[in-house]
Amino acid sequence: MGSLKPARKKNRVIPGFGLSMGVTLSMLSLIVMIPLLSIFVVLSDVGPADLWKAISDPQAVAAYKISLLCALAAALVNAVFGTILAWIIVRYRFPGRRILDGLIELPFALPTAVAGIALTTLYADSGWIGRLFAGIGVKIAYTPVGITIALIFIGIPFVVRSIQPVLEKLDGQYEEAATMLGAGLLRTFRRVVFPEIRPALLTGFGLAFARGLGEYGSVIFIAGNIPYKTQIVPLVIMSKLEQFNYGAATSIALVMIVFSFLTLFAINFIQSRLNHAAKGAEN
Amino acid sequence: MGLKRMNGMNGFKELNGLKKRALLSLTLLVAAAPLAACGSNASTTGAAADTQGASADASKPASVEITNVSYDPTRELYEAYNKIFQTHWKEKSGQDVTIVQSHGGSGKQARSVLEGNEADVVTLALEQDVAELEKGGLIEPGWVDEFDKQSSPYTSTIVFLVRKGNPKGIKDWDDIVKPGVEVITPNPKTSGGARWNFLAAWAYAQEHDGSDEAKSTEFIKNLYNNVTVLDTGARGATTTFVENKQGDVLLAWENEAFLSIKEHPDDYEIVTPSISILAQPSVAVVDEIAKKRGTEEVSKEYLQYLYSDEAQKLAGDNYYRPSNPDILSQFSDTFDLDLKLVNIDDDFGGWEAATEKFFADSAIFDQIYQK
């Protein structure tokens, strides 16, 4: 009797809230919070006028635009392409499926500089792929298109790996039921499959976008790094550091943090609105 | 999701406050323990280094290790130099010396030392990068005069590397600002080498425009408008030009250009312009670190020996211009010794003034990109 009671009361098989919370807080502070706070410590030495001068510098503003647009374009491509990729890996059986599945993580495993150099070699107008495009007058490497390609490369695993588990759990019977109730292919996808994968898709999109904003290693080789044209924000930060201008570098880093935060906030907001709407529809 | 969170809250309430706090602080302690251990560890090695230093004064230990933090293109030079220095130091002091080499962009390397990379000596591309270490309190003021020739045991200059046969007919600086010529050079804001490129071009413009600043700025603007890829470092620019076949001309360190020719003798040739700049890489003992590690003596000798005839010849063999004029003249077949060279102190008023004028934020380099 006595031994049954607490077990029923606690609802948890594995106890230890205090312990796990303690570990969580310690790890988070050591690895995430304190380094992030150090940004504000450095910024405390930068006056508001200098802060504004650094973040409103026309070169930096041009770089925000390039970084945002390229990351956005890459995340959108990844959202579409990643969904299709996750779909074929989950839904079809074909030779080499497992290899394909394993390849998805490669962009995570590969050092970004290696990826950048390889992509540049391929997409430069003397490279295998770049040569084909150069023939029709399209330059890929050293243009914003090149930047976007590098960002697609590093962002694809986020989308695929977010959607995959959801698709795996999604019972094929729903689609069968939808078909039997007279829904066409497109309608089945739009009304049955898509609402299920949407939260995961949004998460994957958000992660790929946020990663794209901050990516340096792979982009730096394929971007031409020309100010106002192909210079990304992380490079602007690096060039401030090279000039030992820690204040200005940190100011621009702050802008990036705000961008990333707003993105993640917006995605959560959209998600909750959509969930709300979905619930409203059910009622 | 909502349900799970509720359960969590119940669990939270159930835990006795005191117990919870005890557990929390315990885990914090556990997490902090290895950190504390790390801290004490670091200080022990520091102490060990100190004692080693002390014993070095009394009776030298059998071996000593120094770290040379250098920039990208010196890799081959120091590989060869370290061998002859090891022999020299063994003869001189009876000690075996191990030299740890580190290479990278000059500014990045300086920053790594500033942020805790323990270098006994630095051999960087720019005097300014060493000056940053002085500002950071690691190197004592007056280091420029510690060694001969303003602590530049070898120099180089900026030349053009063009594709074999020189299809665009590039002979001098005014040829590379012409429309349709694609130029590859790194970004002077991120690369030490690129600052020399910029200043060499400026020197040409000044000479031809009778020191008219507006005209020179226009010249530089046209030059950078022809730049199609602005890499972050000198090695990156060489890769872009040589491996990815971008551009018609690479503005390169003379020694880098010779290395490219050596590797691809059929693909490239060097064009020496009418005027260029004397690039003076700087060397210095990082006093604070050498003191702490007890390596002052060997570090100083390491840099001093760069001026020996043997080392000067080695510099020449690695396509650096030896600072000893007698030995430089032995390399007249390799280098164009008639090239007119301006230098940073006499023609630009030193690095600080040059940086202020050209490379600081919103200075001339930033202006040429503004629309």
Average pLDDT estimate for B22-49: 40
Cβ of B351: how many Cβ atoms within 10 Å?
A: 20
Average pLDDT estimate for B77-87: 95
| CB-CB under 8 Å, B111 with A241 | yes
Q: How confident is the model at residue B371 (pLDDT cuts 50, 70, 90)?
A: low
Q: Any CB–CB contact under 8 A between B24 and chain A?
A: yes
| CB-CB under 8 Å, A221 with B236 | yes
Which residue among A224, A228, A239 sits closest to B189, beta carbon to beta carbon? A239
Whole-number pLDDT of residue B48: 37
Whole-number pLDDT of residue A7: 46
Whole-number pLDDT of residue B161: 96
Q: Is the pLDDT of residue B57 over 50?
A: no
Q: What is the ipTM of this complex?
A: 0.76
Q: Is the pLDDT of residue A39 over 90?
A: no
Which residue among B24, B27, B187 sits closest to A239, beta carbon to beta carbon? B187
Rounded Cα distance between B232 and B125, Å, is 14
On chain A, the residues whose CB falls within 8 A of the CB of B236 are: 221
Whole-number pLDDT of residue B209: 84
Q: Any CB–CB contact under 8 A between A83 and chain B?
A: no
Instruction: Report the gap between the CA of B88 and the closest CA in chain A (Å).
Output: 36
Question: What are the beta bridge partners of residue A54?
Answer: none
| CB-CB under 8 Å, B23 with A59 | no
Which residue among A10, A240, A245 sits closest to B14, beta carbon to beta carbon? A10
| CB-CB under 8 Å, B12 with A17 | yes
**Which CATH number do you get for residue A184?**
1.10.3720.10
Q: How confident is the model at residue B32 (pLDDT cuts 50, 70, 90)?
A: very low
Q: In this structure, is residue A228 part of a structural domain?
A: yes
Q: Is the pLDDT of residue B269 over 90?
A: yes
Rounded to 5 degrees, φ, ψ at B86 are -60, -45
- Computed over every residue of chain A, the mean pLDDT equals 88
| CB-CB under 8 Å, A228 with B15 | no
Taking alpha carbons only, the member of A253, A281, A275, A260 closest to residue A72 is A260
Domain with CATH 3.40.190.10 in chain B: 63-154+281-322, 157-278+339-368
* B122 contacts B110 by C-beta, under 8 angstroms: yes
Whole-number pLDDT of residue B322: 96
Question: What are the beta bridge partners of residue B270?
Answer: B161
Domain B63-154+281-322 fold is D-Maltodextrin-Binding Protein; domain 2 (3.40.190)
On chain A, the residues whose CB falls within 8 A of the CB of B227 are: 226
In the DSSP assignment, the letter for residue A193 is I
Average pLDDT estimate for A241-261: 88
Average pLDDT estimate for A82-102: 93
Whole-number pLDDT of residue B360: 87
Q: Is the pLDDT of residue B66 over 80?
A: yes
Q: How confident is the model at residue B29 (pLDDT cuts 50, 70, 90)?
A: very low
pLDDT tens sequence across B200-239: 999 999 999 888 899 999 999 999 999 999 998 888 898 8
pLDDT tens sequence across B295-332: 999 999 999 999 999 999 999 999 999 999 999 999 99
Q: How confident is the model at residue A120 (pLDDT cuts 50, 70, 90)?
A: very high
Q: In this structure, is residue A22 part of a structural domain?
A: no
On chain A, the residues whose CB falls within 8 A of the CB of B189 are: 239, 242-243
On chain B, the residues whose CB falls within 8 A of the CB of A17 are: 8, 11-12, 15, 20
Q: Is the pLDDT of residue B34 over 60?
A: no
Average pLDDT estimate for A43-50: 88
Instruction: Report the gap between the CA of A154 and the closest CA in chain B (Å).
Output: 21
On chain A, the residues whose CB falls within 8 A of the CB of B366 are: 59, 227
Average pLDDT estimate for B91-112: 91
On chain B, the residues whose CB falls within 8 A of the CB of A120 are: 244
Q: Any CB–CB contact under 8 A between A239 and chain B?
A: yes
pLDDT tens sequence across A272-283: 888 777 666 554
pLDDT tens sequence across B169-202: 999 999 999 999 999 999 998 887 789 999 999 9
Average pLDDT estimate for A193-206: 92
Q: In this structure, is residue A43 part of a structural domain?
A: no
Whole-number pLDDT of residue B211: 83
Which residue among A21, A244, A248 sits closest to B24, beta carbon to beta carbon? A21
Q: Is the pLDDT of residue B25 over 50?
A: no
Question: Lowest mean pLDDT: which of A117-131, A257-271, B82-96?
Answer: A257-271
How many CB pairs below 8 A link A and B?
A: 112
HEC assignment per residue over chain B? CHHHHHHHHHHHHHCCHHHHHHHHHHHHHHHHHHHHHHHHHHHHHHHHHHHHHHHHHHCCCCEEEEEEEECHHHHHHHHHHHHHHHHHHHHHHCCEEEEEEECCCHHHHHHHHHCCCCCCEEEECCHHHHHHHHHCCCCCCCHHHCCHHHHCCEEEEEEEEEECCCCCCCCCHHHHCCCCCCEECCCCCCCHHHHHHHHHHHHHHHHHCCCCHHHHHHHHHHHHHCEEECCCCHHHHHHHHHCCCCCCEEEEEHHHHHHHHHHCCCCEEEECCCEEEEECCEEEECHHHHHHHCCHHHHHHHHHHHHCHHHHHHHHHCCCEECCHHHHHCCCCCCCCCCEEECHHHHHCHHHHHHHHHHCCCCHHHHHHCC
Instruction: Report the gap between the CA of A31 and the closest CA in chain B (Å).
Output: 12
The C-alpha angle A242, B322, B94, rounded to 5 degrees, equals: 90
With a pLDDT cut of 90, the percent of chain B lying above it is 63
Whole-number pLDDT of residue B45: 33
Q: Is the pLDDT of residue B54 over 50?
A: no
On chain A, the residues whose CB falls within 8 A of the CB of B10 are: 11
Rounded Cα distance between B313 and B365, Å, is 37
pLDDT tens sequence across A142-162: 999 999 999 999 999 999 999
On chain A, the residues whose CB falls within 8 A of the CB of B32 are: 26
Average pLDDT estimate for A23-46: 88
pLDDT tens sequence across B138-167: 999 999 999 999 999 999 999 999 999 999
Testing the interface with A: which of B111, B183, B224, B230 to mutate, by most A Cβ within 10 A? B230
| A116, A186, A280, B103, B367 from A142: Cα distances, Å | 12, 39, 49, 26, 22
Residues 6 or more apart in contact with residue A116 via CB below 8 angstroms: A150, A217, A218, A219, A220, A221, A222
| CB-CB under 8 Å, B132 with A220 | no
Q: Is the pLDDT of residue A63 over 90?
A: yes
Q: Any CB–CB contact under 8 A between B115 and chain A?
A: no
B157-278+339-368: CATH architecture: 3-Layer(aba) Sandwich (3.40)
Domain that holds residue A181: 48-282
Question: Lowest mean pLDDT: which of A86-100, A156-170, A172-186, B315-329?
Answer: A172-186
On chain B, the residues whose CB falls within 8 A of the CB of A146 are: none
Q: How confident is the model at residue A11 (pLDDT cuts 50, 70, 90)?
A: low
Whole-number pLDDT of residue A242: 79
Whole-number pLDDT of residue A32: 87
Q: How many domains does chain A have?
A: 1
| CB-CB under 8 Å, B20 with A124 | no
| CB-CB under 8 Å, A239 with B190 | yes
Testing the interface with A: which of B108, B115, B189, B221 to mutate, by most A Cβ within 10 A? B189
Which residue among A26, A59, A235 sits closest to B31, beta carbon to beta carbon? A26
Q: How confident is the model at residue A243 (pLDDT cuts 50, 70, 90)?
A: confident
Q: Any CB–CB contact under 8 A between B187 and chain A?
A: yes
Q: Any CB–CB contact under 8 A between A177 and chain B?
A: no
Testing the interface with A: which of B108, B113, B244 to mutate, by most A Cβ within 10 A? B244
pLDDT tens sequence across A208-242: 999 999 899 899 999 989 999 999 999 999 888 87
Q: How confident is the model at residue A12 (pLDDT cuts 50, 70, 90)?
A: low
On chain A, the residues whose CB falls within 8 A of the CB of B24 are: 18, 21-22, 25
